[in-house]
């Protein structure tokens, strides 16, 4: 039994009254309770009493603590509170703290100063920081073990642990104690794992009945205090009980426990706004869910609160698909912050999708709910369509005709980028069975919806097919956007493949340059100049016979948008390697929206010896997106001479 987790032992004590289970908990945490109280009080007798009181409280509250991953943090705080109560009865707290027995002396004087304030600093930490400290230094779990038991990555747990220790160190620093992180970690490892003295351990490790017998007065006083009996009555009751036979004492203890349980359950019912009768366990699943409270709890769990995580996961996992769907629909009418809404919707919808996958709910139901929720979600934090992915893939693979018909018939979805995912998966499912049916489905859509389907990811595995279908679109704007999306996902395919797509489309040189630049892939901050040079060589090779200089200039413009802080470095290196005036003129003509790039491009344009080429690039850059007077002012700011400004940007007559 000694290897059983805390939750299992608490359940055995709560449900079966297993004294053996409680004794295991007492032995497991006796040292933690005793030494936490000892550091707070400085006295053995007070520490033992605080530890014993903490176990009595644990015995009463056990049914409400089974959700905790470990009892260490809760018991530590309880022991500190109990020790503080005892200290309030004492008059010379500071004098006693000077005689505080310390952990094994390692010669670190800083730790000697920090130890008396350790528990107060621990108590002030956020709950998630306290949890990871106790999991690490009391339970002795490695970060890899934490990740396996509670989810997440070991690196994330390691970072959380480091952050928690650093916050503890800063908390001690604010109290005038300077201690290194290494000394603090060593001290925590020693202080939180000290065993209780044999005499104290023996009393704490006794069975609950023995603990109750030793402290029945304390238990009865707890009960009487909760019932708000006057002090005189309390004293009389204690005196009467002290004269009673042991059998009557046992009856009083049992009665006290019952009254405590009844009072606590009544308080819970009152605080929740329900009737005074305690809700039976069989009816709890039917109790109404407060979505605002649940949203707050889920957000706290998302931010690392382990207690909230375990309680909310258990609650959400117990819900049926119908209840989850009802709550999700209800959430759309609630006033929630974006972070709250995301945490709530993702948790509930994730469970709904799992339920749908296991029970075989119609995929239209899953998709329809996603469409209803997506307008309310915060952008940039992942899509609920990722959660619906398995159900959507199953639908598209098993019955793509049905998915395609659903998308085609719901014309109101034409502007929904999320709904386009359904159309994209339907196209892919159809293509696996019959490329002709997939093409027919695509052609049955409007140009706007065709472009949306391509944007949803259709044809990523066979872009050569999508290039031909997109080329049939009559709306030039939608056609251009669709082809831009196809080429931007080309994944740096070979020169021959990209050139084959372009020759199939027979575009203008400007369009071809744009698509070749997109197919080359985006520039990233980590790329070296040599890697950029290789990409530019690929661009020029692919554009051979068209306009390689223009294609290279368009690619450099893409560099300017992707990483503006490195574009000057890239331009300088490429001009030294390949001084192409048409390349530079193309780049300059496309700098129209960025003032920083304009102010760099004006003096850089002096490298272009062809006056007409230079003038054309400067005029397009300065006049394409602003009024003449604004363009003249910007040119002046960039260092252009007044005569040149008047020539390139004459004032209106």
Judged by DSSP in three states, 41 sits in helix
- The CB-side HSE value for 511 (13 A sphere, CA atoms) comes to 17
User: 1.10.1740.10, 3.40.50.300, 2.40.50.140, 1.10.10.1100: which CATH number matches 1-103?
Assistant: 1.10.1740.10
pLDDT at 395: 82
Neighbours of 85 (CB within 10 A): 13
- The CB-side HSE value for 333 (13 A sphere, CA atoms) comes to 4
Question: Angle at the Cα of 555 (from 589 to 453), degrees rounded to 5?
Answer: 105
Kindly report each contact of residues 441-448 with a partner whose C-beta sits within 8 Å and lies 24 or more positions away, as own/partner.
441/404, 441/408, 442/469, 443/469, 443/472, 444/408, 445/408, 446/414, 447/473, 447/474, 447/475, 447/478, 447/479, 448/414, 448/415, 448/475, 448/478
CB 546 within 8 A of CB 512: yes
Q: Would you list the DSSP string of 338-394?
A: HHHHHHHHHHHHHHHHHHHHHHT--HHHHHHHHHHHGGGSPTTS--HHHHTHHHHHH
CB 631 within 8 A of CB 623: yes
Where along the chain do its domains lie?
1-103, 104-193, 215-275, 288-394, 399-489
pLDDT at 2: 66
DSSP code for 410: -
**How buried is residue 308: exposed, middle or buried, by Cβ count under 10 Å (0-12/13-18/19+)?**
buried
Longest CA span, the chain? 115
Low-confidence ranges of the chain (pLDDT < 50): 92-107, 207-286, 380-382, 414-415
Residues 6+ apart with CB under 8 A from 152: 146
User: 1.10.10.10, 1.10.3720.10, 3.40.50.300, 2.60.40.10: which CATH number matches 104-193?
Assistant: 1.10.10.10
Residues 6+ apart with CB under 8 A from 568: 600
Whose structure tokens read 């470990």? 70
pLDDT at 203: 55
pLDDT at 612: 93
Model-level pTM? Answer: 0.49
What helix, strand, coil percent values describe the chain, rounded to 5? 75, 0, 25
Residues 6+ apart with CB under 8 A from 467: 483, 486, 501, 504, 505
pLDDT at 191: 67
End-to-end Cα, the chain, rounded Å: 96
Residues 6+ apart with CB under 8 A from 79: 32, 33, 36, 37, 40, 50, 51, 54
Residues 6+ apart with CB under 8 A from 118: 39, 172, 187, 188, 191
- Angle of helix 72-87 relative to helix 127-137, nearest 10 degrees, comes to 110
Neighbours of 385 (CB within 10 A): 20
Q: Distances in Å between the alpha carbon of 508 and those of 135, 502, 503, 515, 551?
A: 65, 10, 10, 11, 12
CB 71 within 8 A of CB 11: no
**How far, rounded to the nearest angstrom, does the alpha carbon of residue 273 sit from its chain's CA centroid?**
32
Q: Per the structure block, which two tokens stand in for 59?
A: 């015995």
CA-to-CA distance for 73 and 67, rounded, in angstroms? 13
Residues 6+ apart with CB under 8 A from 328: 345, 348, 349, 352, 369, 372, 373
CA-to-CA distance for 154 and 146, rounded, in angstroms? 7
**How far, rounded to the nearest angstrom, does the alpha carbon of residue 414 sit from its chain's CA centroid?**
32
- Angle of helix 628-637 relative to helix 595-604, nearest 10 degrees, comes to 60
pLDDT at 541: 92
CA-to-CA distance for 512 and 502, rounded, in angstroms? 7
């Amino acid at each position: 039994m000694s290897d059983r987790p805390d939750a299992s032992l608490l359940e055995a004590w709560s449900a079966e009254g297993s004294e053996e289970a409680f004794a295991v908990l007492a032995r497991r945490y006796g040292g933690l309770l005793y030494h936490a109280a000892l550091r707070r009080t400085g006295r053995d007798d007070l520490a033992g009493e605080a530890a014993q009181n903490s176990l009595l409280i644990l015995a009463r509250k056990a049914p409400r603590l089974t959700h905790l991953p470990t009892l260490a943090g809760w018991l530590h705080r309880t022991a500190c509170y109990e020790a503080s109560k005892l200290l309030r009865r004492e008059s010379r707290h500071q004098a006693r703290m000077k005689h505080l027995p310390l952990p094994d002396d390692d010669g670190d004087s800083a730790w000697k100063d920090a130890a008396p304030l350790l528990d107060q600093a621990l108590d002030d930490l956020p709950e998630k920081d306290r949890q990871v400290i106790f999991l690490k230094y009391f339970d002795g779990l490695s970060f890899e073990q934490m990740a396996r038991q509670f989810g997440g990555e070991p690196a994330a747990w390691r970072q959380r642990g480091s952050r928690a220790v650093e916050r503890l160190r800063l908390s001690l620093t604010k109290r005038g104690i300077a201690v290194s992180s290494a000394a603090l970690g060593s001290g925590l490892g020693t202080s939180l794992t000290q065993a209780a003295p044999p005499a104290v351990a023996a009393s704490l490790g006794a069975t609950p009945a023995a603990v109750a017998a030793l402290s029945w007065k304390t238990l009865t006083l707890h009960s009487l205090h909760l019932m708000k009996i006057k002090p005189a009555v309390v004293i009389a009751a204690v005196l009467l009980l002290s004269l009673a036979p042991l059998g009557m004492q046992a009856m009083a203890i049992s009665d006290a426990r019952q009254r405590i349980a009844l009072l606590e359950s009544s308080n819970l019912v009152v605080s929740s706004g329900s009737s005074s009768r305690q809700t039976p366990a069989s009816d709890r699943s039917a109790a109404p869910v407060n979505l605002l409270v649940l949203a707050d709890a889920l957000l706290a769990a998302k931010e690392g609160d382990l207690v909230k995580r375990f309680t909310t996961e258990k609650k959400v996992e117990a819900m049926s698909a119908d209840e989850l769907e009802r709550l999700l629909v209800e959430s759309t009418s609630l006033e929630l912050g974006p972070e709250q809404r995301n945490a709530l919707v993702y948790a509930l919808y994730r469970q709904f999708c799992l339920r749908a996958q296991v029970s075989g709910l119609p995929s239209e139901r899953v998709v329809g709910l996603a469409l209803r929720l997506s307008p309310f979600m915060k952008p940039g934090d992942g899509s609920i369509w990722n959660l619906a992915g398995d159900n959507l893939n199953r639908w598209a693979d098993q019955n793509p005709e049905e998915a395609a018909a659903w998308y085609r018939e719901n014309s109101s979805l034409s502007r929904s980028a999320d709904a386009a995912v359904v159309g994209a998966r339907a196209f892919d499912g159809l293509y696996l069975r019959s490329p002709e049916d997939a093409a027919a489905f695509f052609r049955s859509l409007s140009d706007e919806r065709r472009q949306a389907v391509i944007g949803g990811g259709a044809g990523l595995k066979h872009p050569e097919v999508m290039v031909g279908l997109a080329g049939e679109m009559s709306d030039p704007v939608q056609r251009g956007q669709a082809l831009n999306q196809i080429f931007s996902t080309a994944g740096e395919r070979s020169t021959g493949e990209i050139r084959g797509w372009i020759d199939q489309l027979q575009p203008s040189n400007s369009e071809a340059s744009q698509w070749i630049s997109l197919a080359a892939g985006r520039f990233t901050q980590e790329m070296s100049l040599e890697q950029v040079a290789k990409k530019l060589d690929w661009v020029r090779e692919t554009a051979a016979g068209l306009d390689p200089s223009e294609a290279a200039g368009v690619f450099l413009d893409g560099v300017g948008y992707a990483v503006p802080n490195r574009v000057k470095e890239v331009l300088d290196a490429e001009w030294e390697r390949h001084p192409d005036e048409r390349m530079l003129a193309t780049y300059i003509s496309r700098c129209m929206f960025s003032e920083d790039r304009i102010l760099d491009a004006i003096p850089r344009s002096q490298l272009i010896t062809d006056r007409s080429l230079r003038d054309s690039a400067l005029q397009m850059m300065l006049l394409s997106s602003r009024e003449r007077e604004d363009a003249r002012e910007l040119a002046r700011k960039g260092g252009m001479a007044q005569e040149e400004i008047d020539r390139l940007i004459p004032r209106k007559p």
